[in-house]
């Protein structure tokens, strides 16, 4: 069983540490410029709770967004994007040095079996540049051209030059946008990408298209190995994965699932005021993991509101399954 655990809501963790980020159009990515050590601390917290992959703090970043909201040149903005990778990589190196010492001093096979954690470069939908929570509705899609999506994603793929193990194009709510960025990925054959959809229920992506149609449209040329769902309720993941079993078999797909806790932001748009509301569904999240693995999920983590402790719960669950299958 080859399942890797992804990290959780790093920006939630930053917010929980007392930094108010929800009113900032660069959100947690501002910290790449102002609090790099804090970002490393958050990465290391997830690593210490056992995850196998960490995502760069670049979801809300883009070269044009950093130029606009942090008054940087294009070249400086590119350096900020790449710094997200360097900080993630440094965190892994520092964690791994300590971990190996611990593993050597222990006779635990779980400790000894663990591989060095990997780094995933993270890019959000173009919606993040508008900072209006459009990634949960897709309402922006008629306001942007295909060329704007291509140009923006193309320049933000400079993350790849900093050396990442996966590229996540995530929280995409619109089929058309997913198709456009998937086509662009042909120019980055070594990206090891996943396209991850934001879904509004167990059958539809945020903008309303049927999830299985959206998946079909991005996998049919056979170039994608991973497709994901993220930042939706954990209760939607099983029906979503069930609906794409035909594509799983036809294209040898693996799924990446990192739902949120089920809590949602109370307002239509993000801002300094507001809070997450609704029930925290972590008690239903972890018990569903074996089912997701049976349905083809090979990378599982958490999105908004999931904490390092929640990720530890996933790690324990996956380790338990691995041990029972030995």
User: Which is nearer to Zn ion, 233 or 260 (by Cβ)?
Assistant: 260
Question: What are the structure tokens assigned to 322, written together?
Answer: 């691995």
- Look at strands 193-197 and 166-172 and give their pairing: parallel
Which C-beta is closer to Zn ion: that of 164 or that of 304? Answer: 304
Query: What is the 3-class SS of 146-191, one letter each residue?
Result: HHHHHHHHHHHHHHHHHCCCEEEEEEECCHHHHHHHHHHHHHCCCC
Q: Does 303 bind Zn ion (CB under 5 A)?
A: yes
Q: Which lies closer to Zn ion via its Cβ, residue 80 or residue 304?
A: 304
Residue in 3, 39, 231, 318 binding Zn ion, rule: CB under 5 A: 231
User: Does residue 10 belong to the site contacting Zn ion (CB under 5 A)?
Assistant: no
157 is in an annotated binding site: no
Residue 314 contacts Zn ion per CB under 5 A: no
Q: Which stretch binds Zn ion (CB under 5 A): 82-90, 214-222, 225-233, 289-297?
A: 225-233
> Minimal CA–CA distance to 192: which of 157, 221, 150?
157
Environment class of residue 186 by beta-carbon count within 10 Å: exposed (0-12), middle (13-18) or buried (19+)? exposed
Taking contact as CB under 5 A, which single stretch among the options 73-81, 86-94, 111-119, 223-231 is the one that binds Zn ion?
Answer: 223-231
Give every CB contact of residue 43 below 8 A, 6+ residues apart in sequence. 7, 10, 54, 87, 88, 91, 92, 95
CB of 275 or CB of 326, closer to Zn ion: 275
CB-CB contact of 86 with 32 (8 Å):
no
- The H or E element spanning position 55 is strand 53-55
- Tell me: does residue 32 bind Zn ion (CB under 5 A): no
Q: Which is nearer to Zn ion, 47 or 231 (CB)?
A: 231
Does 232 bind Zn ion (CB under 5 A)? Our answer is no
For Zn ion (CB under 5 A), the number of binding residues is: 4
114: DSSP letter: P
The answer to whether 304 is annotated as binding is yes
Is 304 one of the binding residues for Zn ion (CB under 5 A)? yes
Of 297, 276, 275, 277, the C-alpha closest to 288 is: 297
Q: Which two tokens stand for residue 15?
A: 């917010």
> Stretches 44-52, 121-129, 219-227, 302-310: which one binds Zn ion (CB under 5 A)?
302-310
Q: How far is CA 74 from the centre of its chain?
A: 25
What residue has token string 């995530």? 170
- Pick 50 or 228: Cβ nearer Zn ion: 228
Least distance CB 75 / Zn ion (angstroms): 30
* 237 scored as a contact of Zn ion (CB under 5 A): no
Stretch that binds Zn ion, among 177-185, 242-250, 275-283, 301-309 (CB under 5 A): 301-309
Contact indicator for 172, 178 with CB cutoff of 8 Å: yes
Per-residue x/- track, 238-277, Zn ion (CB under 5 A)? ----------------------x-----------------
Q: How far is the CB of 169 from Zn ion (least distance, A)?
A: 14
Binding-site residues from annotation: 231, 303-304
Q: Which residues contribute to the annotated binding site for Zn(2+)? A: 231, 303-304
Site residues, Zn ion (CB under 5 A): 231, 260, 303-304
């Amino acid at each position: 069983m080859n399942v890797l655990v992804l990290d959780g809501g790093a920006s939630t963790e930053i917010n929980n540490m007392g930094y108010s980020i929800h009113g900032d159009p660069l959100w947690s990515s501002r910290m790449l410029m102002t609090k790099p050590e804090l970002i490393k601390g958050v990465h290391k917290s997830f690593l210490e709770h056992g995850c196998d992959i960490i995502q760069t703090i670049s979801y809300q970043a883009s070269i044009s967004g950093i130029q606009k909201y942090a008054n940087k040149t294009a070249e400086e903005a590119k350096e900020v994007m790449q710094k997200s990778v360097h900080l993630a990589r440094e965190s892994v190196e520092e964690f791994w040095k300590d971990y190996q010492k611990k593993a050597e001093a222990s006779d635990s096979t779980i400790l000894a079996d663990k591989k060095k954690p990997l780094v995933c470069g993270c890019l959000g939908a173009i919606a993040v540049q508008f900072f209006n929570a459009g990634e949960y509705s897709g309402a922006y899609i008629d306001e942007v051209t295909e060329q704007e999506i291509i140009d923006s994603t193309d320049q933000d793929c400079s993350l790849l030059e900093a050396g990442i193990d996966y590229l996540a194009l995530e929280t995409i709510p619109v089929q058309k946008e997913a198709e456009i960025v998937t086509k662009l990925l042909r120019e980055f054959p070594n990206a090891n990408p996943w396209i991850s959809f934001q879904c509004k229920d167990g059958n539809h992506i945020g903008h309303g298209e049927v999830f299985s149609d959206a998946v079909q449209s991005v996998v049919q040329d056979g170039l994608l190995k991973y497709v994901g769902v993220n930042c939706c309720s954990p209760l939607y993941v099983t029906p979503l994965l069930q609906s794409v079993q035909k594509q799983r078999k036809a294209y040898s797909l693996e799924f990446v699932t990192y739902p949120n806790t089920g809590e949602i932001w109370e307002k239509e748009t993000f801002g300094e005021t507001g809070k997450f509301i609704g029930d925290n569904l972590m008690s239903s999240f972890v018990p569903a993991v074996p089912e997701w693995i049976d349905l083809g999920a090979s990378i599982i983590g958490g999105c908004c509101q999931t904490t390092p402790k929640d990720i530890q719960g996933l790690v324990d669950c996956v380790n338990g399954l691995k041990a029972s299958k030995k």
